[in-house]
Homo-oligomer: A and B are copies of this chain.
């Protein structure tokens, strides 16, 4: 996919397998909030609560990349790959990625 140049806001709404307020939930969120924003190219990192009653997600992550090259580098970064393999794939029950660019 070819994107025009320009910042991209990458968001992921998700729900964990862990009970609300549990220690594994806390640990997952803390790791996400530590590992992901430290990866080069990640700007405006936010760890969020999802609060709409109209979907089943419970948390959100939002970050911005200067361009598609920065986004691609993030996806390929060893710390991101490791987080996805070791934590995301086993602890996340459902998620949806939504990425935005200014029109």
Is there contact, CB below 8 Å, between B48 and A101? yes
By a CB distance below 8 angstroms, the chain B residues around A100 are 46, 48-51, 60, 62
Kindly report which residue of chain B lies nearest to residue A10, judged by CB atoms.
Answer: B52
How many identical subunits does the complex contain?
2
By a CB distance below 8 angstroms, the chain B residues around A49 are 100-103
Number of interface residues of A (CB under 8 A): 30
Is there contact, CB below 8 Å, between B98 and A98? yes
Is there contact, CB below 8 Å, between A47 and B99? no
Q: Could you list 10 further interchain pairs (A-B, Cβ under 8 angstroms) beyond the known A49-B100, A49-B102? A: A11-B98, A46-B100, A48-B101, A49-B103, A50-B98, A51-B99, A51-B101, A54-B97, A57-B98, A60-B98
